[in-house]
Structures are given as structure tokens and as C-alpha cells.
Amino acid sequence: MDSSGMLRALLLVAVLCVTCRGQSSQEVSEEDSGLGRAGPAADRDLVAALQALLRGRSRDPSEEKRGSIALCGVGDRCAMKFGPRIGKLCDCGRGANCNSYLLRCI
């Protein structure tokens, strides 16, 4: 490409930039911004939904799971290998840990 072709291309890009810049709108409607007020009834509904959600999450899900897993004795199998993952069979008693290599309580 010769220098006059590059100059024409550069001039064309400059003209396009100048004309496109003037067409963009600076106004943002209330619907587009999401800042519009829905009213007090919608606010009350939102507060009620959030309170119901917080009441439902008051119980700790780990406590529910822990209650359903049986206790193992020392030397018992406490886990099972499923490919790259290890599944938990039971919890070791107090003072014992589940060895991830042997998969037994030690």
C-alpha cells in the first residue's frame, strides 16, 4: 500500500470516528438505569421475601449431614475411593482420624 492509500484510509477512519461520536446519546432513561422506584408495596414484598429466606437458612446444613453419618471405631473403614474422589462412609470417633491413604480410622 502506498502512502496516499494509507492517508486515505486514515482520513476515512477519522471521519467515521467524528461522525459516530456525535450520534451517541448521553441521556439514560429511568428504566435503563434501574433506579426507578417501584413503590412501598414492592418494598414490603421484598423485605418479606428476604426475611423468609433468612429464617430458612438459620439451620446449619453441616449439622444435618453430621447427624446422618454413623460413627466408626478405630481400624474400621471410614472412606471409599471412587476414582480421583474419596467418599465418606462414617466419622471416626473422638481422638481418631480418617487416614486418606489407608482409608481407615487410626
CATH 3.20.20.80 applies to domain 66-106? no
Q: Residues of 75-88 as b/e, b for ≥16 C-beta within 10 angstroms?
A: ebebbeeeeeeeee
pLDDT at residue 30, as a whole number: 52
Reported confidence tier of residue 104, pLDDT bands at 50, 70, 90: very high
Instruction: Choose the most confident range, by mean pLDDT, from 10-24, 43-57, 59-73.
Output: 43-57
Residue 100 pLDDT more than 60?
yes
pLDDT class for 51, splitting at 50, 70, 90? confident
Residue pair 93/74 in contact by the 8 Å Cβ criterion: yes
69 pLDDT higher than 70: yes
Helix or strand (DSSP H, E) at 86: strand 85-88
Which pLDDT score is estimated for 105? Answer: 92
Report how many helices (DSSP H) and strands (DSSP E) the chain contains, helices first.
4, 4
